[in-house]
Every structure is written in C-alpha cells, then in structure tokens.
Structure 1
C-alpha cells in the first residue's frame, strides 16, 4: 500500500488537486482526495512542492523490437520477406531487458503500444504493454491491440528492391483489399459450416489473424504520412467497415477539415528530426495543433527508436510551442492516447479503480528541465530518483 500526499495532482480527468493525496492498494488507485490518512504499514511519499501525473503513454512505438546499441542481431521490427504478415506478433520479439525500457519508465512513460514497422502492407500485431518488467507476458495490457498496415513509400521501397509487388501505391492498396476479401471469404466459410469442423476451410494462420479485425475487436493502425495515402487508408477502411487510427498523419494539417468530418483519431509524429524522405516534406510540429483545433482527437508519438521514448514529453512540449494548448498537449500523451487505444478504463488518468501508474515530477513535465522523482507502475515503485 502506498500513500502519496501533499502533491499537486493532475488527474487528467478534469480535476487538479492542490495538496492532494492518492492511496494505492495492490495495483489500483483506491482513493484520491485532499485529506487521506495513511493506513498502517503504508509506504508514504511526501510530494510537497511536486507535481503528480498519470504515467504517460506512447500510442505508437517499436519499443523492444529494435534493440539499443546493436545492429541486425537486435533488429526484429520488420519481416521483409512477405508483404502480408498479419500473423506475426510484437510480443514474440519485444525484449524487455533492453536498456530502452528502463529509460522509458525513468522518463515517466509507463505504457506503450509497440509493434511491427512499416515495411509490409500488413505488418502484424501491435500489443499494449507496461514498460517495467522482465517477462513480456507479465507486462501485457492488451494483445493484440491493433493490426499494422502501411501505405506510401516504405512498402514500395522494400519490395521494389526485391522486384516484386507492391512496387506502386496501387499494388499496396490492391494487396490490402485482396487480403481483407480473402479473410471475409474465410470467415464466411466458417460460419456456413455451422459448427461442423469437417466443413471448415483449410486452416490459414494469416487469415485467422485477420478475423478480429473484421469483427471490430482489433483496429487497423494505418501508417500514412502523405495526404493521398491518408485518404487511401480511409477509403479502404470505409469500404469494408473497419475500425482504424491514422498513424503519423504528417500532412494531416493540410486536410484537417476532411479528417474532422471522417472522424478517425490521429497518432501524430515523429515530428522532430530530419525530413529523411519525400513524404516528410511537410513535416511540422504544427500538425497536432491544427488537427486538434479542427476537432480531430490526437495522440503524440515518438515512433521510438526514431525519437528515444523518454523524450515523449518533449515532443508534446514542442507541439505546445507550435500552438497546441497545454492541456491538450498533456492529454495527447495521457488520456487521449488511452482512449484512442481503447484502454481508458485502465490507464491515462488518475481515477479510482484505474491501474496505479503514477509519476511524480519535480517540475511541470512539459518543462525541459523537469525530472522524474518517482515512477509507480501497477502499484509498485519501479524508479526513485
């Protein structure tokens, strides 16, 4: 049991408490208020003069799939032998012993959505995990949480080098449609069998992985930077009635009015760094502000290892500098990220009944001089400065 007292508590659920307290029991928040007495044997943390926030969330990264300070041996994010790999799972590659996990929770990042990269048209299954632990199975919040798909330059470049499809944007869209239609036909044959397994179609591992997407249990995570690629992703999602989030959305600010009408959430970034390819030519930290003002729900990502995960608050701060209101910037890495991932019942805000993922800061987390004093994940103090 842990009692945090005397802190300025930003719940990210509409309340800020001065001289507030949070009581944690087991792995949950059990009480939040201004006058909570410390139970017997509770660990008491005096947060006087400090700021208390929910653990931050990166809604799109590749944590553990590209390991730190190593080359090919630790590069497990892209299976570049087949443009259609819906059956591969992030949890089978993510290495929680990698240094980047420690850097993440020491930087106040307690949860992430991590998964395959964008080499393939269908890249595989993302998982939502906590950032502290030794065994990935014990760190899972939800899995699979999304199916990665990719548009634009990356699949073209990878398979052009192999002289096979997709070498054009047309082929990328066609391969995705073809796979979805195969999955629909596969599902229909199972349903027509009416429980008689002797009439089931031959088991297809890839198509089985697509069934939760068709059922709406898993949404598409659509890598799309350029405006035309964003619209292609939307076209296909609407064609088949599939749930989807827009990942990167680099040119989203150019089409914000359209995206507001369409209603898809956007996970924006990485907005810091060199414009390393043509589809990034309109890269700007103004994108989150423009989308937010238009009414698009946004989260901000690092795309780690593109930007080291612990710099997620800095990305939010730079978006704020470019016009995103402070509260919206904070929500983009806490409660909005949780809502977009479908996990707001557990993470993203400090509320009774939610996971006890709590970070105590010595300054406001969007201040580049701020440091983490304590990180608590699932009710355990995993870092103390």
Structure 2
C-alpha cells in the first residue's frame, strides 16, 4: 500500500460533487486525504506532475470472469462453469481465480482497478461472485467484498447445458421452477435454523442452503444473467416474489422494457455489446440500451463480460455507447460510481472522495476514445502501471 503521494496539475473528474480543471490529489496510506487546487505536498512526499492529463476514479467492471476463465489455457484454465448440477449456490469464485492470469496485467494497463468476477451462466444457480482489486499476488489480499452476489441464469444457457444431459432444466419453465424451489428451501431452512436456535436444539447445517441465506437476508443480490425481455421480466417476477435484491446483468433487450425495469427498482449491468451476435438472445443487442435505460430512470453500469470482451476495453465500450447518444458523464458513471453502487463497493471505490481508496486512472486524453493512452494506474495509493 502506498505511503504518501501528491498528484498535481490534473483535469480531475471525481464522479462526486466537484470536478477540477487544474487539481491535485493528496494520498496517504492508500487513502485519499485531500482533493482540490493548489494543494502543497508535505516534505518527503512523492510528487507526480501529470501536466494537464485526465484523472478519474479507477475503472470498475461490474460483471466479468477474469481469473476464472484464464487466457491461453483452454480447459485447464476454465473454472467458471461446473456443468454437473444446475443448483450450485455453494460454489465460490474466490476459489477459482488465478491472480497470475495475464488478463489482470492488461486490465491494469487499461485503467481497470476493480472488478466483480464470478461463475458463468451454465447453471440455474452458479455460485457467488467476488469483488476484487485487479492487482495482487494472493486473491485473499485483493478482495473488496465476498460474497458479493449470487449468480443465477435465465434463458438459453442453462436449458442448453442440461438438455444435453437429459436433466432439468430443458425449458424456461424448469429454470424458473428450480430457482423458486431453491429459494423456497432456503426460506424454510432459515426458519428451522432460527427455531432450533431459540430452543437450543441441535441443527444440522446444509452447505447449499447456508450459501443462499445472504440472498434471503438481502445482504447480497441475485446476479441474474438475462438477455431477452421475457427472461428479464421472469428474473424480476421471482425476485419480487421472494423479496430479494437483484441486478439485471446483460439486460440486452432492456431498452424494449425500460418502463418495467424502472418500475421494478432494480439496476442494470449492460453488455457485452461490442461482440458478435452469437445466439438468438442477442438479436436485439444495441449500444443504445444504456441511454434508453438511463433516460427511463434506471441505474446502469456497462460491463465487458471478460473474456467475451477483454477487460482493458471497458472504457471503449462506454465510448461506443456515447456514439448512440449517452452523455459523456453518464458513460463515465457507468464504469465508475454506478458500477460501484450496483455491486455494493461504493463505500471504498467508484469516486474520488476523502477517505476512499486511492484507486486512480490517468489518461492523456478522453478515456472513452480509442487513441487515448492510460498513463498511470494507481491502486491503494501505489503506482501499479506507468506508461
């Protein structure tokens, strides 16, 4: 963790209340201690003069599979889909992530400092996601929040996987039914556990059910893989039925039903849009989706789904959304503070504010444009990349 550092002469976008045309940031012990203009560095501080460069919070990807689907590895490095049981809430992404995956280095070079990474969408319930920093040797030291969400999947993927095995689900009805049953079982399990505790009786814990308790208790959301409009609405229907938190991940046809998503109160994590339409569910994929949802009052983050789109290109995905009318500030929010708020780590990252982690990305121009270079990436007050 960095000691003391002053970054000066920066065009600062804080993603909080105030921006600065020629600002400075003072960092101590990995935290931001001061932001403003004409800040003087205490004697002995490291000083970085960025000479007018664009400075923003470190970029955050709210949905990816980095470290679990490793580069250059094939089957040996593919650890995100346990395709042997459609209900696996007990699985933890934390146990699959390899910090030595070369994708982490590329992410850092693109200014990406935090990610939410976890299981794929083969299972109805796939296990827990974890929010981590992108720099570190031990995954345990990189964790921001764990567990951070419970992955669930609707639509084509789980039915395709298990139809090939002659198991449920082979229809959307069965996917919804299996998820409902697991949530019913978890609610009943909680009641039995509480009753046993009140009576001071022995209670045999169940590994799968224990993993679902944070969902039932609204400590973490269901993280719903849903592309098609009807699948998005099914995810909302079930979340309302069981009174649980939910994020709508992918949300490819969200623009078709933006009114209903707004009324639900659930946020959307949109993407990966800069990719091939590889299946029917992606037929209506569009870079206009974030703008339509935001204009409807939905909180939106933009994601890569790495390795579908490589992690370091998240800012370009946001830039392509601006070509379809999304404002510059909303695009930045979608990869910083909105992403942090949606995945529940905004107490530490997502904006440049006093007391938050000193996670910073510095660019030689507009970070949403392809010709722009990342000059510095700083995580916990330490320069982890310098161009």
Q: TM-score, structure 2 length as denominator?
A: 0.98
Partner secondary structure for residue 194 of structure 1: helix
Partner secondary structure for residue 199 of structure 1: coil
Name the residue aligned to 1:239.
241
Cα displacement (A) at 1:195? 4.5
Distance 1:66 1:197, change over 3 A: farther
Specify which of 373, 376, 379 is matched with residue 377 of structure 1.
379
Name the residue aligned to 1:301.
303
Q: Does 1:120 align with 2:126?
A: no
Partner secondary structure for residue 318 of structure 2: helix
Partner secondary structure for residue 168 of structure 2: coil
Structure 2 distance, partners of 1:93, 1:85, is 14
Specify which of 21, 30, 33 is matched with residue 36 of structure 2.
33
Specify which of 158, 163, 177 is matched with residue 161 of structure 2.
158
Matches within 5 A, 1:218-367: 218-367=220-369
Name the residue aligned to 1:217.
219
Cα displacement (A) at 1:249? 0.3
Gaps of 5+ in 1: none
Partner secondary structure for residue 143 of structure 1: strand
Structure 2 distance, partners of 1:335, 1:302, is 16
Gaps of 5+ in 2: none
Cα displacement (A) at 1:2? 0.7
Structure 1 distance, partners of 2:380, 2:68, is 23
Structure 2 distance, partners of 1:188, 1:58, is 36
Q: Does 1:4 align with 2:17?
A: no
Q: Does 1:199 align with 2:205?
A: no
Cα displacement (A) at 1:199? 3.4
* 8 Å Cα contact 1:19-1:48 kept in structure 2: no
Q: Provide, for residues 18-42 of structure 1, a one-character-per-residue CA deviation record: whole Å limited to 9, x for no partner.
A: 2100000011000001011111211
Cα displacement (A) at 1:242? 0.4
Cα displacement (A) at 1:342? 1.5
Specify which of 171, 190, 193 is matched with residue 193 of structure 2.
190
Structure 1 distance, partners of 2:258, 2:187, is 32
Cα displacement (A) at 1:137? 0.1
**In the comparison of the two structures, how many residue pairs are matched?**
384
Structure 2 distance, partners of 1:308, 1:171, is 33
Q: Does 1:142 align with 2:163?
A: no
Structure 2 distance, partners of 1:353, 1:203, is 39
Q: Provide, for residues 232-251 of structure 1, a one-character-per-residue CA deviation record: whole Å limited to 9, x for no partner.
A: 00110000100001000000
Name the residue aligned to 1:99.
102
Q: Which runs of 4+ in 1 moved over 6 A?
A: none
Name the residue aligned to 1:66.
69
Structure 2 distance, partners of 1:165, 1:194, is 35
Q: Does 1:79 align with 2:82?
A: yes
Structure 1 distance, partners of 2:36, 2:274, is 38
Cα displacement (A) at 1:360? 1.1
Name the residue aligned to 2:17.
14
Q: TM-score, structure 1 length as denominator?
A: 0.98
Q: Provide, for residues 195-249 of structure 1, a one-character-per-residue CA deviation record: whole Å limited to 9, x for no partner.
A: 555431x221000000010000011000000000001001100001000010000
Cα displacement (A) at 1:258? 1.4
Cα displacement (A) at 1:43? 0.8
Partner secondary structure for residue 108 of structure 2: helix
